[in-house]
Every structure is written in C-alpha cells, then in structure tokens.
Structure 1
C-alpha cells in the first residue's frame, strides 16, 4: 500500500476587513494498492477525525458501499489512520449519501 497526502484550502475571497465567508483546510489521503485508490479527507480543525470518501480507479470514481468496509485496502487505510491519531473515522455511504461512523468492530 502506498499513501500520498496533499494539503488543500477551500476559501472564499476575503472581504474588506480580511475576513472570509468560509475557510476550510484539509488533507486528502490517497491509499493505493496498484489497482484501486481509496480517497480520505481529514479537516485540520478536527485532528482526531477522517472521512473515507470513495474509490478512484484511473479517471473514474466510485462511492463506497457497505461491502467495501471489508476490502483489504479499506482495512489497511483504517488501521493506518488510527495509528497516526485519527480514531474517529466516518465513511460516506453511497446509499444514504450520509457520513456513517465506522465502528471498531467493522474493521
């Protein structure tokens, strides 16, 4: 498994006082096994949390399904994230389009 991390900022233009309407800083983790890539987002203001978002294969992306929670790459990524201090993991469920807490018993 390879892991790539990139830093991102999503922010509005500052107003005349230098204030932003919105400002988000986050890191994108890409866990790859040579075939598939699992995409994870972690906001810097929530250092103990991360959200497993979906799969990428080539130029295509795929949402997560319940069955993906047992995929070897998913399991390795969850273990990695917990080891680096992110014990609160959520995953974006394709069916409900909601973030679902990842229970320790699921991985």
Structure 2
C-alpha cells in the first residue's frame, strides 16, 4: 500500500462511518480473513496424559492497512476473543472508538455468521469487555 493510500485511510473510515450512521447504504468494507489452527500442549506424562492442552484458532481480519487479531478456543465453539490491532509493526489494544470501525464490525458479523455470539475483547481501561447479544 502506498504512502498516499495510508494517509487517505482515516478519511475513508470516517466517510464509511458517516454513511453508515446516516443510513446511506455504506458499502461492505473490504476484508480478508486468515485462520490458523494452533495446539499448545505439554509433553505427555508417564501415563500418557498432558498437564495442559489447548486448541484454538487465530483469526487475522485485514483490509490491507489494519489487521484485527482474534482467538477462539476449540472447546468453546460459541465464543471468540478480539485481541487487538496490528498496523505494520505497531500493536495496540482496542478502544471504545474501535467498536465502530468498519473492519471490527465486519469481523463481528463474520463471527456471528459462524455461530460465535459471545465476543470478548481486551480494553485499556477494563481487562475484558463482553457481549452475548445474538442480534445486531
């Protein structure tokens, strides 16, 4: 992405938010999704059991400028955790303003279509915010 496109990005987000808020048919925000399956487990003990074993997917939602990272554990099929933003080499937690970002909203819609209605996210002021809403 060129330097000019990066400079224009905040204006594109603001225009999308305005159209969406005014009900002027904001177009779908461009998004690609990468999903990677991970297993984090201890070595088996003498009886063949693991001390710990976690299976989860890491989701990367990107629009070419920003990337939203999320995680969903395999044993909790109805929920996911939105972990934060990645922009190049910069990482940061979510803020209240991010909850209206078009990429965040597209990611939430993606999870809801996948049957994940309990969504948690990290916030600077509160460790975890959560919603269980199945609509909107």
TM over 0.5: yes
- Give the gaps of 5 or more residues in structure 2: 1-30
Cα distance, 1:59 vs. partner?
2.3
Equivalence for 1:45: 75
Alignment size in residue pairs: 105
Equivalence for 2:99: 69
Larger Rg: 2
Contact kept? 2:69, 2:83, Cα under 8 Å: yes
Please point out which of 36, 54, 65 is paired with 1:6. Answer: 36
- Relative to the length of structure 1, the TM-score reads 0.91
Higher helix share: 2
Equivalence for 2:130: 101
- Relative to the length of structure 2, the TM-score reads 0.72
Q: Does 1:20 align with 2:50?
A: yes
